[in-house]
Amino acid sequence: MEIKNKKLSDATFEALRKEVLATWHTGREVDLDEAFAYQRTITGDCRFADKLNKAKAERRTLIQPRAGVPVIEEHIKLMQHLEKYGEVDLLPSTIDSYTRLNRYEEAEEGIKRSILEGRALMNGLPVVNHGVFKCRQVIESVHTPIQIRHGTPDARLLAEISYAAGFTSYEGGGVSYNLPYCKNVPMEQTIWDWQYVDRLTGLYEENGITINREPYGPLTGTLVPPCISHAAAVIEAIMAAEQGCKSITVGYGQCGNMTQDVAAIRTLDELTNEYLNKYGYHDVNVTTVLHEWMGGFPEDEAKAFGVISWGAAAAAFSKATKVITKSPHEAFGIPTMEANAAGCRCSKQVVNMLYEQEYSAANLEEEMEMIKMETRSILDKCYELGNDDWALGCCRGVEAGVLDVPFAPCAVNAGLMLPARDNDGAVRIMEMGNLPFPKEVKDFHRRKMEERAAFEGRPVHFNMVVDDIYAIGKGRLVGRPQPKDDHAAGSGK
């Protein structure tokens, strides 16, 4: 399959649509005209895109958690609890792992067993199995916009049912839901399947209904340099815009160094608008999302709240349009709804406190310029490899290691680039692999890694990477080697 970044024709889309809706019996519940009519009844602050646009204009950061359980009635209780006690601005419906793999029969069994045992035996809401009309109960149970968050390579049927049910935002994309999630699914296949999702979104737009689309920003969530996630986000934004999407939220996963995180969100907004306009997409509303720390958390709840607060501060200082929150139970798995709400309130407190404050640092502009130089190098090379086609260039760029996601399970991902932190905790690139950077950028990263090595008295080595992966869970940012004798490192006793 050789794909192109070209709007799907009506005939192609309709032929595919018959196949998609036939893959599970709830597909028969989808009637586009009826779905359009229902979506038009959702107005004002209950529409995701409208609320995002308002927040961006006011330079406010909205709060949104992750959450989802398998039984509709319990999911409604969860949504209502987060709305009331979490002080959230936006709600999620996180999809279960069976649905993400299109294993609807097993999802059906999971719902039955969850009801029978009176507890959640799945890690999310199986929207496809519940269907259009049962999911509308969720939409109608709260007064807050709800987004579908998942991780599905082939999310076409899920999108059909979600949009018809009244969800007004949809996460994912052919790059960000492949490289971090899949092992053997070809890039061409996921991009093709997500062109369908984006074309469906465009069809709603053409009928006066804006559905917000959000590529998944953090990717693998492990020491991902801003330029890598930015490049993926910009490419997915361009491909979504080609299919008719008009509201796109691009994301970034917090790395932990405040200056780098602020620079990342600010440049992500700038670069996405720059490339959309450069390639002819002038009417897209771009908003941003910062994901609080995606790596290992401390088990101690008080320490976990410290990590949460730092992420909320990064979102507030960067003026991200929204922040995806974490809970103090992050080290243990799926949180209780009480713990989830507590993480939301913690984040809300921080963003409210910092709303009127501006962040400045001596090296902020330098950081921003470096991120922009790196990202443009990756994007322009991908476009060149694709012979001036973004979809083809993305596939070839990944295969060539030009767009290289660290620690990704995908077989086609080159995995040659290796990140680590510098002496200030910013994520740098230890091994360049095939990243198409100019000498100036390569020298910058090499210098930053050598500064850390000199400070720690050890060579630049893979052990730094390992140390950095576990550092925040242990109460540090940079994973410095610790003295073997902890007592000797203390008061001298």
From residue 144, alpha-carbon distances to 129, 133, 240 in Å are 23, 18, 25
Neighbours of 280 (CB within 10 A): 9
- The CA-atom distances, in angstroms, between 173 and each of 224, 226, 262, 285 are 18, 18, 24, 18
Q: What is the pairing mode between strands 285-291 and 247-253?
A: parallel
100 is catalytic: yes
Catalytic residue among 29, 171, 188, 214: 171
The answer to whether the CB of 68 falls within 8 A of the CB of 123 is: yes
Q: Token digits for 345?
A: 């309130």
Residue 349 makes CB contacts below 8 A (sequence gap 6+) with: 312
Kindly write down the DSSP assignment for every residue of 258-309, as one continuous string.
HHHHHHHHHHHHHHHHHHHHHTT--S-EEEEEEE---S---SSHHHHHHHHH
Q: How far is CA 217 from CA 160, 214, 222, 249, 339, in A?
A: 23, 8, 12, 9, 24
Angle at 265 between CA 188 and CA 359, to 5 degrees: 170
The residue annotated as part of the active site, out of 47, 66, 100, 266, is 100
CB 168: neighbour CB atoms within 10 A?
A: 26
Q: 251, 56, 261, 270: which is closest to 173 by C-alpha?
A: 251
Residues 6+ away with beta carbon under 8 Å from 50: 44, 210
Rounded distance between C-alpha atoms, residue 297 and residue 36, angstroms:
42
What's phi and psi for 155, nearest 5 deg? -105, 25
Instruction: Tell the residue number behind the tokens 């559905």, with chain if given.
Output: 211
Structure tokens at 302: 């008080």
Residue 437 per-residue DSSP state: -
Task: Tell me which residue has tokens 């009635």.
Answer: 73
Residue 214 is a catalytic residue: no
Of 427, 481, 480, give the one whose Cα is nearest residue 294.
427
| Interatomic CA distance for residues 133 and 139, integer angstroms | 10
Catalytic residues: 100, 171
